[in-house]
Structure 1
Amino acid sequence: MQICRDACFFFLTIWLVYLTFEVETFQGISCGSPGEVMNGRYDLTEGVEFGARVTAQCDKGSVVHTHRTGPSHQHYIVGSKVRNCMAAGWSGRVVKCGAPPVVANGSLLYRAEESYAYREVVEYQCDRQLTLDGPRFLHCSETGQFEPNPPKCIDITCPTPNIDKAFRVEGHMPPYKYMSFIRYECEKGYEMEGESGLACEIDSRWSAPYPTCKVSKDSNPEAENVFFSKIGDEIKGGLNTFINWVSKKIPEVELKLPWMRK
């Protein structure tokens, strides 16, 4: 027990000597202004020199927040609302962010400020015909940087589909940009296999493979074309025979159909 008391007394003496040395060394050193508190101020009753303590006080109707909740327009203190003037300056820190990141071919929705308070939000937009790839909103984090990583403005254009025996029934004309939608139908006598509606996605690809138009089970367009072709030939042949017969009966009358004329 005697050894323990002696050791404790020794370390206590060393600690008191260190504190005395620190006070004498840094006595009179100023920490300067502790910073600003939005809608409030610091109580500087004890001054701003080494050893002084300041406390954040809010204007009437406002509240000092020391965590991630509350209005986004206030400045926040990381840690306690009480700050001490120490050898390295004020303990704790008021979180502020500088100018938000610049996005190529894009801009902020509102004019940029010189600085932003903790949790303040900025919103991005892209130049015309470009698409925002990434988060639209960034916030001032407790590290003093905007998070998450800024978005990119990219050009998204899907190719114009070429679908045989089909025609477009819905959607705009090309170029097809992000989220453009088109829908196709097959010609008469054909039925569609696959998705009839396509949407242009973020990777400049359509949401589904192109559909195909195949001959309907209930019809045969090729056979119908052959059938009508044969009927047309028979009609032409019959008319030619009739004209020849009339010409023989009435020699002075010359009759020719359009396809018989040279």
Structure 2
Amino acid sequence: MLSLSVTCVSPEVENGRTNGIQPAYRPRDIVVFECDPGYTLSGSPETQCQDDGRWDPPVPVCERMLQCPSPPAIANGKPSVQVSAVFTSGMSVNYSCEPGYALTGQASIYCTASGTWSPPPPQCEGVLCIVPEIQHGRKVAGRGPVYRPRDTVTFECDPGYTLNGSHQIQCRDEGTWDPPVPACTEGKQVLCIAPEIQHGRKVAGRGSVYRPRDTVRFECDPGYTLNGSRQIQCRDEGTWDPPVPVCIQVLQCPSPPAIANGKPSGWDLAVFTTGMSVNYSCEPGYSLTGQASIYCMASGMWSPPPPRCEEVLCITPEIQHGRKVAGRGPVYRPRDTVRFECDPGYTLNGSRQIQCRDDRTWDLPVPTCIQGKCESRLTAGVRDNLSILSQWAVVSKFVKGLGPLIDGAVCGY
């Protein structure tokens, strides 16, 4: 049986905290500890109050951890520094270089138990490509002397030699050339016939002469689709690989149907091909009936039928034992308002004034007239003003509490 008279003194830990603060604890109570940032727990993270008033295991201590300074800065690069300003043992940071520079050394360094970073931070050295040279040929563009990433070089061969490879190469971020440096081989140069397509055009590779490795890209005119590869390359034997594509006319749909009091999106486009869609929207005061989107089908027809824009009208509001005193129109459109009053001997339950909303509902709901003690003109006047501000529900109790002043007022209309 636990002794209710035995208690344990509230444990305290410097540079740390517990999960609760009590002046005393009973046997079997447990306390959990944690240390402040920059400190590490030495001992058990939790302890329990014993029958003899001791804490077991003993209360731990928070020992200060050795911290590392901010990671070293490096030229043309930076470390991935975390939000925390404290760097403790075991934490790491990664370095990255600016464009045009390559990392030399280990990308990650670690905060050691001695409070220093290890290994030394890396360096960011400028990326350079080896100067490209070819025999029996020359550079006609990009003559160095230093080549950095994104630099390009264009070659041509001496008469009687053929270029084996790409005429233009580019220095990559890792210091290599892409494509590789070409070579000039002895023999008659092979050329590809200039590729042409109907109902389309070349968007890249418009040269009049095409040598092996030259590429051409195509696109088709509106209303046509490309049958074949968008990009082709001149082969060593003077043929195009893949073959030159063709532009095939695609079945089109007519302009989207017009609708009264609305319009489709994209109606000004010149061509509507299979799979395209348009969305309809209505003018203010009209509501969409049907599916908002229609699609151009493979048959050249639009499906489903276009929607309709119908005028937004609210149902005519009527109340028993009362009448409309404003807004007696036969048709009610958005923003139209109606005001009511009840017959003598009846009290209005709800708002005196309501408004037609865009979704065909009334805001607030249509009131009712209930039989009972008539309301005074003073009460009605106060409620009219408050109804306009949508605050009648908040102050209704105050108005009802006016007591004899309201009871003595004159009823009727």
Question: Which of structures 1 and 2 has the larger relative contact order (alpha carbons within 8 angstroms, sep 6+)?
Answer: 1
TM-score by length of 1: 0.36
TM-score by length of 2: 0.25
Please state which structure has a larger fraction of its residues in strand. 2
Please state which structure has a larger fraction of its residues in helix. 1
